[in-house]
Amino acid sequence: MMRRWPVVGVLIAAAFALSCVGDAGAQATKQPIRIGFGMALTGGLAANGQGALLAMQIWRDDVNKAGGLLGRPVEFTYYDDQTNGSTVPGIYTKLLDVDKVDLVVSGYGTNLIAPAMPIVMERKLLFMGLFGLGNNEKHKYSRYFQIAPNGPNPAGSFSEGFFELAARQNPKPKTTALVGDDAEFPQHALVGAREHAKRLGIQVVYDKTYPPSTVDYTPIVRAIKATNPDIVFVASYPPGSTGMILAAQEVGLEPKMFGGGMVGLHFTSLLTKLGPKLNGIVDYGFWVPEPTMKSPGVEAFLQKYQPAAVKAGVDPLGFYLPPWAYAMMQVLGQAIEATKGLDQQKLAEYIHAKEFDTVVGKVKFGPDGEWLKHRTVAMQFQNIKGNDVEQFRQPGKQVVLWPDEFKSGNLIYPYSAARK
């Protein structure tokens, strides 16, 4: 009898050890999937960056409510990049070396994606990009995927609608002025604008950039006016967009078309404050509440986003960036589930190969990580009265003019006619 006790003890100890191993195994499988990124939470692009973060958090919560990815909860580790590219390398190095995140995605915008590219390329990481314009044009990095629907010629697609619309007018405009911020995104947009002007036989009579810290835009607008261009393409960030619009009105610059690549006109705060001053401006867009762009996915997403945005004090409309931020994470999530792991190469190969169902519709990436087919639209602000935010939820205020498959109205031409 006495001899049985050691056996029983061994069995108990083994059972305990096995239970511990079992627990540890279960714990291991329950380890969260950690996704890291920098985001513009302060600085010039923060109005959009905060909205993007909220959208990504909504995706994370949706995923976790549904049981996580691969049975593991999803966690974010993120830092404020202050809309300052010089902070980005440090942020991503910390995310990878100190925080040891499983995956990284980009922050918002071309200028903040560019400084992260060398780091992710060196480490051969999958990198989802959020609204980068032409960040991979030179790198041709096979594990980069960008969610804005710029298509295979990002710089060109951005201004294509503006110039195609101009070329359709009778008589066709003969001259254009090109102006924009001295920064990564506007520079890319201006490259595309030059290509289109050349292709369509429109002569460039003014082609300059200005420092982002410019205070007074009236000398720039006067110099443009002196060249008497038929159309004016502006690639600007929010302060530049506002400054150019106000200066154009004060100086009396009235080309036949004005706008093109003005960031910030999608921010609710500027939409409402500029109000009727926006009438007539043609700008790019990705989604606006027009009947031709009806999308159950976007509308369902906005129903979740808008109350949360009001609560969080971020962009309450959320038409511009948040649905795309959510879609970017959906692509990543679907790829993780399908490949059943976090292998960067397998994930990249899968994303290249497959088409994804997202809130913004079907997404298929081309070899350079941009959308296979572009879906950037040109729209015109029309019939804006007063400064009420509710009007921007209605169709007919941001009328889609191009491409034809999304066209919801006609261009009011020339610019001055829309401002009456």
Partner 1 sequence: MFSLDLFLNALVAGVLLGGFYAAVSLGISIAFGLLDVVNIGHPIFVILGSYAAFVLNDAYGLDPLLSGVLFAPVFFLIGVVVYQVYYLSFERKGESPLRGLVFFFGLLFIIEVALLLKFGVDYRLIEAPYIGRSIHIGEVGIAFRLLVPCVVGLLMTLAITQFLSRTFYGRAIKGVAQDSLALRLMGIDPVRIKTIAFGLGIATASVAGALLIMISPVEPSIGRAYIGRVFAIAVLGGLGSIGGTLTAALILGIAESLTATFSGPSWSLAVSFGILLLVLAVRPAGLFGR
- Beta bridge mates, 173: none
Query: Between residues 6 and 386, which has the closer beta carbon with respect to partner 1?
Result: 386
Under rule CB under 8 A, residue 49 binds partner 1: yes
Binding characters for partner 1, 12-41, by CB under 8 A (x = yes): -----------------------------x
DSSP classification of residue 114:
G
The owner of tokens 């059972």 is 15
Under rule CB under 8 A, residue 264 binds partner 1: yes
Under rule CB under 8 A, residue 239 binds partner 1: yes
Among 124, 208, 294, 362, indicate the residue that binds partner 1 (CB under 8 A).
Answer: 208
Binding residues for partner 1 restricted to 306-325, rule: CB under 8 A: 313-315
Under rule CB under 8 A, residue 50 binds partner 1: yes
Q: Are 259 and 158 in contact (CB under 8 A)?
A: no
Task: Determine whether 349 is exposed, middle or buried from the number of CB atoms within 10 Å of its CB (0-12, 13-18, 19+).
Answer: middle
Cα distances (Å, whole numbers) of residue 370 to 85, 141, 189, 354: 22, 11, 15, 13
Binding part of the chain for partner 1, among 20-28, 90-98, 127-135, 235-243 by CB under 8 A, reads: 235-243
Q: Are 418 and 379 in contact (CB under 8 A)?
A: no
Query: Between residues 54 and 377, which has the closer beta carbon with respect to partner 1?
Result: 54
3-state class of 364 per DSSP?
A: strand
Among 9, 22, 67, 252, indicate the residue that binds partner 1 (CB under 8 A).
Answer: 252
Q: Where are the alpha helices (DSSP H) in 170-211?
A: 184-199
Among 22, 25, 118, 211, indicate the residue that binds partner 1 (CB under 8 A).
Answer: 211
Distance separating alpha carbons of residues 300 and 294, to the nearest angstrom? 11
3-state class of 357 per DSSP?
A: strand
Query: Between residues 119 and 265, which has the closer beta carbon with respect to partner 1?
Result: 265
Under rule CB under 8 A, residue 283 binds partner 1: no
Distance separating alpha carbons of residues 91 and 99, to the nearest angstrom? 10
Site residues (CB under 8 A) for partner 1? 41-44, 46-47, 49-50, 82-83, 182, 208-216, 218-220, 222-223, 226-227, 238-239, 242-243, 246-247, 249-252, 264, 267-270, 273-274, 277, 313-315, 387
